[in-house]
Amino acid sequence: MNLIPRDFYLDDIFDDFMPSKENSMKCDIYEKDNTYHIEVDVPGFNKEDIKVSVDNGYINISAKKESKEEDHKDKKYLRRERSYHKVSRSFYLGDIDEGKIDAKFNNGTLKLSIPKKQEIDKQKYIEIK
């Protein structure tokens, strides 16, 4: 018989006061050779869990992981924090060449190479007569 509830112990006391890192994706963004590079840490996710989309100069990165209930039928959990997890980030990069974006995922890190659009000389000269 268990008279003291599980929540009573001090191991969980700081959970409500500490900021959650649940929705964080740590990243580095840099520019090199007329190309933006984004490196994003998404540990615990598989390549299939990650989606990258482009919309009017915005790069949207999201990762979603759901647990399968059939894997947990015979377990009695005392604490369960890994059943569902979703994170996302968006970055505005401006005029980019959407057709030439390259994405690679290796060891929990997503690497994107996003070429800038080549600027066309929009300045026109008027011939003086």
- CATH number of the domain enclosing 37: 2.60.40.790
Establish if 72 belongs to a structural domain: no
Establish if 74 belongs to a structural domain: no
Establish if 14 belongs to a structural domain: no
Establish if 125 belongs to a structural domain: no
Establish if 127 belongs to a structural domain: no
Establish if 10 belongs to a structural domain: no
Q: What percent of the chain has pLDDT over 90?
A: 44
Residue 79's pLDDT band (cuts 50, 70, 90): confident
Of 52 and 67, the one with more pLDDT: 52
Q: What is the DSSP string of 17-80?
A: TSPP-TT---EEEEEETTEEEEEEE-TT--GGGEEEEEETTEEEEEEEEE--GGGGTT---S--
Residue 68's pLDDT band (cuts 50, 70, 90): low
Instruction: For residues 66-90, give the mean pLDDT.
Output: 77
Encode burial over 21-35: b for 16+ CB neighbours within 10 A, e otherwise.
eeeebebeeeeeeeb
Residue 19's pLDDT band (cuts 50, 70, 90): very low
Of 84 and 2, the one with more pLDDT: 84
Query: What's the structural domain count of the chain?
Result: 1
User: Which domain range does residue 99 map to?
Assistant: 22-67+82-115
